[in-house]
């Protein structure tokens, strides 16, 4: 493994984020709690340290909303956001007990029982999407399955017409890009325009749902009350919708696409799955471990403390790197290798743990299981189409997802 000079490492550069795994291993070996030079940011890469931090909201707060705006804006961007609604802290950037107030509003929508009851519905969407190209022998899998399946599902749950899929994807991508903080100035301007457009669309939808309630998430957020009887403010409702939108499709899209590439790159593991489909749920956990669509997340130290023997001053930011912990050799033997029957794959940190365990974890698992299971059952001889795949990822500090995926295949009669 080629070692880098940690004294000059720009951890959040697009280059490192594209190919981070050797860096993760070096940090785990040499500086598992590493302070980025010249900053108050500590990158945490060992499984046990990450788990301890995310289970301790008293010492390590999720209130990092200000960080998402810091250094990633200009006057033109600010002026555009000024035409929309302010960003307020709800789910992602709230701590207990306040976090629970917002989470309770949507817990029932994402309960395991409800998601289990949606499997036939998810299967029907998957079949419909695959039917459209099953006879072609080659497909833009990203845009013909990986993207539309989760977006159809989350749009249906939100109460947004499927015809709006291109808008939903555009708004979701803009929100994810803003969260990821690697957008250039031109992208920041476009993100701001798209996010304000999103806000006004859903603000109008909230008004309509308050006049005529329906059975969907938007209507629930528009009409349910908190704090002894008050309705959510528009910024509160919009913040929750934005987070549900991103979490409800970006991670599943990345997981399905990443899983297909892993299975192409590991043909022996693919053969195991084809001969024993009962392994698919465990294989999905292994894909989530290796791909980790949410690569990391921020925490803020609420007091002078320490992690792994390293002093952490109050107010410092911690980047807990789930994708690094998920390959920690002390927890996952041969952690860089794919094993679809790995016995402890489900111990991964891809959905976090504790208070902020991913709201849509069970939905993402179901979508991945059904999509990959259907692809394996209906197609064979997968290959990456030459000249069409970059196999690169969208630049993002927090989320990791492929830009494109074109595969060739044979239809199984």
DSSP symbols for 257-272: HHHHHHHHH-HHHHHH
**Structural contact between residues 384 and 406, judged by C-beta atoms closer than 8 angstroms:** yes
Distance from C-alpha of 57 to C-alpha of 94, rounded to nearest angstrom: 10
DSSP symbols for 271-307: HHHHH-GGGHHHHHHHHHHHH-SB--EEEEESSSEEE
**Structural contact between residues 245 and 171, judged by C-beta atoms closer than 8 angstroms:** yes
DSSP state at residue 91? S
Distance from C-alpha of 250 to C-alpha of 244, rounded to nearest angstrom: 10
Torsion sign over Cα 203, 204, 210, 215: negative
3 state DSSP class of 383: strand
- Domain-by-domain residue ranges, the chain? 75-277+284-289+358-379
**Structural contact between residues 349 and 382, judged by C-beta atoms closer than 8 angstroms:** no
**Structural contact between residues 176 and 399, judged by C-beta atoms closer than 8 angstroms:** yes
Q: Provide the CA 52 distance to its chain's centre, in angstroms.
A: 21
Q: Which pair of structure tokens corresponds to residue 74?
A: 């200009």
User: Which of 235, 87, 244, 104 shows the shortest CA–CA distance to 160?
Assistant: 244
User: Which of 369, 371, 374 shows the shortest CA–CA distance to 282?
Assistant: 369
Strand partners, 349: none
Q: Residues 6 or more apart from 278 whose CB is under 8 A from it?
A: none
Neighbour-count burial for 125-151, b at 16+ CB within 10 Å, e otherwise:
bbeebbeebeeeeebbbbebbbbbbbb
Q: Which pair of structure tokens corresponds to residue 94?
A: 């709230």
Q: What CATH architecture is 75-277+284-289+358-379?
A: Orthogonal Bundle (1.10)
Q: pLDDT tens track of the chain, all 413 residues?
A: 689 999 999 999 999 999 999 999 999 999 999 999 999 999 999 999 999 999 999 999 998 876 665 555 588 999 999 999 998 888 888 999 999 999 998 888 888 898 999 999 999 999 999 999 999 999 999 999 999 999 999 999 999 998 898 999 999 999 999 888 888 899 999 999 999 999 999 999 999 999 999 999 999 999 999 998 999 999 999 999 998 988 878 899 999 999 999 999 999 999 999 999 999 999 999 999 999 999 999 999 999 999 999 999 999 999 999 999 999 999 999 999 999 999 999 999 999 998 899 988 999 999 999 999 999 999 999 999 999 999 999 999 999 999 999 999 999 98
């Amino acid at each position: 493994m080629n070692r880098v000079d940690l004294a000059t490492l720009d951890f959040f550069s697009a280059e490192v984020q594209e190919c981070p795994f050797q860096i993760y291993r070096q940090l785990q070996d040499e500086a598992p709690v590493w302070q980025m030079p010249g900053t108050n940011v500590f990158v945490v890469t060992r499984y046990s340290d990450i788990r301890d931090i995310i289970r301790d909201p008293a010492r390590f707060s999720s209130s990092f909303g200000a960080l998402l705006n810091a250094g990633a804006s200009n006057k033109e961007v600010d002026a555009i956001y000024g035409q929309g609604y302010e960003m307020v802290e709800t789910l992602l950037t709230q701590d207990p007990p306040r976090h629970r107030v917002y989470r309770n509003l949507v817990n029932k929508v994402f309960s395991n029982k409800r998601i289990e009851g949606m499997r036939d519905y998810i299967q029907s969407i998957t079949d419909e999407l695959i039917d459209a190209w099953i006879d072609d022998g080659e497909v833009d899998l990203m845009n013909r399955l990986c993207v539309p399946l989760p977006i159809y599902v989350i749009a249906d749950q939100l109460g947004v017409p499927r015809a709006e899929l291109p808008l939903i994807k555009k708004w979701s991508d803009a929100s994810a890009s803003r969260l990821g903080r690697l957008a250039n100035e031109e992208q920041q301007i476009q993100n701001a325009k798209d996010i304000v457009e999103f806000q006004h669309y859903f603000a109008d939808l909230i008004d309509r749902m308050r006049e005529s309630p329906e059975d969907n998430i938007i209507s629930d957020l528009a009409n349910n009350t908190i704090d002894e009887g008050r309705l959510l403010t528009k910024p509160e409702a919009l913040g929750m919708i934005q987070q549900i939108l991103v979490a409800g499709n970006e991670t599943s899209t990345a997981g399905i696409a990443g899983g297909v590439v892993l299975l192409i790159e590991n043909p022996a593991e693919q053969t195991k799955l084809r001969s024993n489909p009962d392994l698919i749920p465990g294989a999905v956990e292994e894909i989530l471990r290796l791909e980790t669509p949410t690569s990391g997340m921020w925490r803020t130290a609420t007091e002078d403390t320490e992690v792994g023997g390293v002093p952490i001053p109050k107010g410092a930011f911690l980047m807990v790197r789930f994708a690094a912990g998920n390959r920690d050799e002390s927890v996952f033997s041969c952690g860089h290798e794919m094993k679809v029957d790995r016995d402890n794959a489900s111990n991964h940190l891809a959905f976090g743990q504790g208070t902020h365990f991913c709201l849509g974890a069970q939905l993402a698992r179901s979508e991945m299981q059904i999509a990959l299971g259907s692809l394996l059952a209906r197609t064979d001889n997968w290959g990456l189409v030459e000249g069409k795949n970059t196999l690169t990822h969208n630049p993002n500090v927090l989320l990791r997802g492929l830009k494109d995926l074109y595969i060739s295949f044979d239809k199984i009669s």
